[in-house]
Structure 1
Amino acid sequence: MKEFVISEAQTEKAVLVGLITANQNEQKAKEYVAELSFLAETAGVTPVKTFFQRLDMPNSVTFVGSGKLQEIKEYVVENEIGMVIFDDELSAKQLRNIEKELQVMILDRTNLILDIFAKRAQTANAKTQVELAQYKYMLPRLTRLWTHLERQRGGVGMRGPGETQLETDKRIILDKISRLKKELLDIDKQKVAQRKNRGKLVRVALVGYTNVGKSTLMNLLSKSEVFAENKLFATLDTTVRKVIIENLPFLLSDTVGFIRKLPTELVESFKSTLDEVREADLLLHVVDISHPSFEEQIEVVNKTLLEIDNRPKPMIMVFNKIDAFTFVPKEEDDLTARTKENIDLKELEETWMNKLKDDCIFISAKERTNVEALKSLLYERVKQIHTTRFPYNDFLYQQYDEEE
């Protein structure tokens, strides 16, 4: 799947393109492109320029208007830019027309996320899931990718009577998709067996937007060394650890982070990984409260959780990174309404979050602020779930202690 992976030689300057539409105002467009810039940096690309255009809807032929495309072309040529990245998913027609005009590598948001996933995948399971998502993405875009497939599997002797190259390539990809789905089914059966072998321990899953500090929190609670860094999708493979707080054992899993405009192909392909969320007894929804759009990130996560499993689950909102929360006080003569930009943390806690009561907690995993309070809250919730499920099995606590 090399056509999706940005090679070292291609690690270069890029131009980003976003739209301001009726459904996406200027503020939202800028936030999305800022996230696209972070995605590009995670993939090893340096964004140097951003172009925006106001349109009622994306141009069906070239995404942006012809005038804006010409403006982008002039900048690309003058500054020797080798890549242009669009903030929305492009159709095969749009990709073909834009590439023809700009004569550089064209990526869309989905393509970029798939590239990052391909680089981050470590286990056979994650690699298979990413490869399946890539082929699903490629299938409707074969008109621009057939030459790669011809190199991958020569056309001589591979075609039926009167079969076109496009039909051959489509059959090749459908065969690969079928094979990868079968591989994932086999992996899923193994995971089901592994989950059964974990016994009757309560399962807690860390969920949240990407880069909110789930892996850092996982390390604190489980005293393990899960890979964590300030990049998007640092964790792809679900990590499960046995955690004991006081005398109470439970299983804690760290799952892949969600993101706005997460490709449908990835949600579908990563269902076996997300089974940890589906089978969890309790969710810890980790939120980066220092992020200016944290409330929208919460909505994105909640929407994705519904796609995975529409059954309601107990949840604790963990507002992380309070150490990074910035407060810019209003001027005395400023009569504008309070916003997230000029409200302090105490005031913020008294907004809609106050209704959550004991279902939320404010911490800093990095500074270990309130982590002990989180452990106490987690202990009470896990104990409640366990005693409700096994009212006469309190002796299990001592049993697990002896095993340790």
Structure 2
Amino acid sequence: MSDPYGAGHGPERTAAAFAAVYGGPPAGVWAAPGRVNLIGEHTDYNDGFVMPLALPHTTLAAAAPRADGRLRLHSGGVPEAGVIELRIAELAPTAAPRGAAARWATYPAGVAWAMREAGLAVGGADLHLDSTVPTGAGLSSSAALEVATAAALNDLYELGLAPQRLARLCQRAENAFVGVPCGIMDQTASACCTEGHALFLDTRLLTRRQVPFDLAAQGLRLLVVDTRVRHELADGAYANRRASCETAARALGVRALRDIPYVQLKSALADLGEDDRLRRRVRHVVTENRRVEEAVALLDVGEVRAVGPLLTAGHASCRDDFEVSCPELDLVVESANAAGALGARMTGAGFGGSAIVLVTEADAERIGQVVRDAFAAAGYRAPRVFPTLPSPGARRLA
């Protein structure tokens, strides 16, 4: 695998960039990864089951405390925004950083706000942030940005917060400060994943278990295919899907669709009558929760290859019942499986972004090229294809 930090991306460079911006060294450098979701899509906001794993690609945060109540933010990825300076006591969702160049700062500012809202003694700070997590690819670049900030502030102010608490605070920041109604999966994956494992997370109870996912030991690889497309309807469609699930749960008299057992799916669908749209939404969530449980059972006994068909079945459900795929994602799955992949599916919210493909190590390069060739033949922009292995969650590097 290539250098997960990318060319020159690492704690030393990030610390040097901090010093160049702020005129002195940081107190430390922290990392938080992006993620791919192995299986369990659009189940998190339905109180269901998910199984993400951390990428080697990270957001790095170099940080130092300030005693004057100022929060200064700088991004290596958006240098044109300059240093964005805020008063930490004045942070509020109604006073979030505005403008296209400064929008990225809404995420770290929201984390500081959420921590203070929770009564935590967080003061000012200087932060320089840089990232190799692809943006707009459905790989949780925003969660990585939030969790890296939270990890830095947690240590700078000696708060002693556990990773899951940091994840909850970051979700609060994204929901209330940024204004995105995301579930808890992305932040938990970035904060809590461990190397060589996928994370089995119950998004209602917040219980989690590290499930062995040792691809290298079995001669396997997981290809991530960033389609490099994002369709305009994505944001509104996400909110629409979430509202549909809530409507269906109310109609069925349950708190969330997680409460519909797989064995009662047929009767639940009958109870929804002729509303085919709600029926399909419910069918996806219930069967996807079942697929997560089946995948966990297979991985627990080392049957990694057998997970492949579950990935493909999950993609078909996302495509047909939840209607969150797109032609580019479908082409990844179809071309990879036709070339001999063990399984493939979209990952993330959909309507663009990324897909994952489970392959043997021997077939990885060939199948990756098949996908690229399929995109070229269709007239699509060339995708970015890279292999990944389950990597560690948030941690301090320096």
TM-score in same-fold range (> 0.5): no
Larger radius of gyration: 1
Specify which structure has the higher proportion of strand: 2
What's the TM-score once normalised by structure 1's chain length? 0.23
Q: Which has the higher contact order (CA 8 A, sep 6+)?
A: 2
What's the TM-score once normalised by structure 2's chain length? 0.23
